């Protein structure tokens, strides 16, 4: 189950100790079904021993609410951004061009890199300019993410779509033993709760969150799961799920409706000393900005088994998840307007597995 509040977490690994097919799904009210979209894997060019990645930051549009186009921002035209995959000890350069019409920067959240290339406020660059941070990857396998981190514009730019997953691989025995084929048995799951008004305008601050009629849909890999149930065809007996909460402040709770455990194998920092079963009756909590991953057994067949979270669509929103505070503000969170729902969804066995 995912209960929406606001926040961003990335990279825990989990393994589900069960052989039945599973769905990560809404209550079944979603009108459409489509395969889970996988964020594109950004391919580097090799230049003089360095892996060179290119990111182009531009404005665009994306369907956040069904049938409504929202003005967004994206890396390489993707919402969310493409996944960057690197290895420990690899020399990396990222060539980033700003076409947003405003200042920005890019922060490698969780990466062990020098301050001058970490994309903080001190490395902001203007519209029309480029920034080319270069560094040597220096950490064990981990699931990270990247996003803007400029003064006064971070929440705005992240809310409009500038966020992506970053995966670090290494040569450890643990890495070799785990599923690692991106989009096949190593699956990115980017969770976002977005504040948006009925006209499609995205909100990102105290004033916007408290506007009358603002909705808080949950997106999974960029798709609104109120409107669409997503499916994934399992092609392997084990799957690794990498969860990234790329929301601003929402907290998600992950659980299985049948109460069986998930096996957590990592946090955002590194692998756990040993795999840990998480009792999902009491839920697995994902706060803003950490990452986590899990693996789970699947049937030997390749039947559809997994659906990302959705939530019940409502003509008139109803309250559900308490209160929230926009990122960057101090003190207790403001009361959520009575009209703003907090979405939830559930991981449960698919009907064909019962």
- For residue 144, what pLDDT is reported? 95
Residue 353, phi-psi category: left (phi > 0), alpha (psi -120 to 50), beta (remainder): alpha
The total of other beta-carbon atoms located within 10 Å of residue 219's CB is: 25
Residues 109 and 216 both lie in one domain: no
Distances from the Cα of 75 to the Cα of 7, 158, 273, 291, angstroms: 20, 11, 35, 20
Half-sphere exposure of 144 (CA within 13 A, CB side): 24
Indicate if 31 and 70 belong to the same structural domain: no
Check whether residue 135 and residue 206 sit in a common domain.
Answer: no
Q: How is residue 308 written in tokens?
A: 């990302």
Widest pairwise Cα distance in the chain: 58
β-pairing verdict for 130-131 and 91-99: antiparallel
Residues 79 and 59 in one domain: yes
pTM of the model: 0.78
Domain shared by 76 and 191, yes or no: no
Please count the structural domains in the chain.
Answer: 2
pLDDT at 29: 60
CATH code at 299? 2.60.40
Count of C-beta atoms within a 10 Å radius of residue 91 = 15
How many other CB atoms are found less than 10 A from the CB of residue 170?
A: 17
Compute how many other C-beta atoms are within 10 angstroms of the C-beta atom of residue 199.
9
Residue 155's domain comprises 41-176
198: left (phi over 0), alpha (psi -120 to 50) or beta: alpha
Last residue of a domain, one of 118, 148, 176: 176
| pLDDT value, residue 257 | 63
Give yes or no: residues 259 and 193 share one domain: yes
Instruction: Say if residue 9 is in the same domain as residue 77.
Output: no
Same domain, 34 and 48: no
- How many Cβ atoms sit within 10 Å of the Cβ of residue 320? 15
- H/E element holding 173? helix 173-177
The pLDDT of residue 292 is 54
CA distance between the termini of the chain = 19
The predicted pLDDT at position 332 comes to 34
CA 281, 285, 287: angle at the middle one, nearest 5? 165
Find the CATH number of the domain harbouring 123.
2.60.40.420
Mark whether 166 and 70 lie in a shared domain: yes
Answer for the pair 71, 176: CB distance below 8 angstroms, yes or no.
no
CA distance 1 to 322: 17
pLDDT reported for residue 293? 61
Domain finish residue from 121, 150, 176? 176
Distances (CA, A) of 241 to 183, 215, 220, 294: 10, 28, 13, 5
Of 126, 158, 176, which residue is a domain's last?
Answer: 176
One domain for residues 204 and 345: yes
- Residues 163 and 280 placed together within one structural domain of the fold: no
pLDDT for 354: 31
Same domain? For 24 and 140 the reply is no
Q: Which of 89, 84, 82, 83 is closest to 112 using CA atoms?
A: 89
The tens-digit pLDDT sequence of the chain (354 residues) is 333 333 333 344 443 333 334 445 445 566 788 899 999 999 999 999 999 999 999 999 999 999 999 999 999 999 999 999 999 999 999 999 999 999 999 999 999 999 999 999 999 999 999 999 999 999 999 999 999 999 999 999 999 999 999 999 999 999 999 999 999 999 999 999 999 999 999 999 999 999 999 999 999 999 998 888 888 887 767 889 899 999 998 888 776 667 777 788 998 778 999 998 887 655 444 444 444 565 555 433 332 223 233 222 222 222 222 233 333 333 333 333 333 333 333 333 333 333
């Amino acid at each position: 189950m995912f209960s929406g509040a606001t926040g961003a977490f990335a990279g825990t690994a989990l393994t589900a100790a069960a052989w039945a097919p599973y769905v990560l799904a809404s209550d079944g009210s979603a009108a459409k079904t489509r395969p889970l979209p996988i964020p594109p894997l950004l391919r580097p060019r090799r230049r003089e021993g360095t892996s060179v990645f290119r990111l182009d930051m531009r404005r665009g549009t994306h369907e956040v609410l069904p049938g409504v186009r929202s003005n967004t921002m994206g890396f390489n035209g993707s919402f969310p951004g493409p996944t960057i995959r690197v290895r420990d000890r690899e020399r990396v350069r990222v060539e980033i061009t700003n076409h947003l019409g405003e200042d920005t920067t890019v922060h490698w959240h969780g990466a062990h890199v020098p301050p001058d290339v970490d994309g903080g406020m001190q490395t902001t660059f203007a519209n029309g300019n480029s920034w080319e941070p270069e560094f040597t990857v220096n950490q064990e396998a981990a699931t990270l993410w990247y996003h803007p981190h400029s003064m006064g514009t971070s929440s705005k730019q992240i809310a409009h779509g500038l966020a992506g997953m970053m995966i670090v691989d290494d040569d450890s025995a643990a890495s070799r033993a785990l599923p690692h084929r991106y989009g096949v048995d190593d699956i990115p799951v980017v969770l976002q709760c977005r504040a948006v008004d009925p006209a499609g305008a995205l909100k990102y601050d105290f004033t916007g969150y408290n506007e009358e009629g603002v909705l808080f849909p949950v997106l999974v890999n960029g798709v609104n799961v109120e409107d669409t149930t997503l499916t994934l065809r399992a092609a392997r007996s084990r799957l690794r799920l990498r969860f990234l909460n790329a929301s601003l402040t929402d907290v998600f709770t992950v659980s299985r409706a049948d109460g069986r455990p998930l096996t957590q194998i990592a946090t955002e920092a590194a692998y756990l000393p040993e795999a840990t079963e998480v009792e999902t009756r009491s839920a697995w909590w994902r706060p803003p900005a950490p990452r986590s991953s899990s693996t789970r057994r699947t049937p030997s067949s390749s039947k559809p088994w997994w659906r990302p979270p959705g939530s019940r669509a409502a003509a008139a929103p109803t309250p559900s998840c308490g209160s929230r505070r926009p990122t960057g503000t101090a003190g207790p969170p403001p009361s959520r307007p009575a009209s703003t729902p907090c979405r939830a969804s559930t991981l449960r066995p698919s009907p064909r597995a019962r």
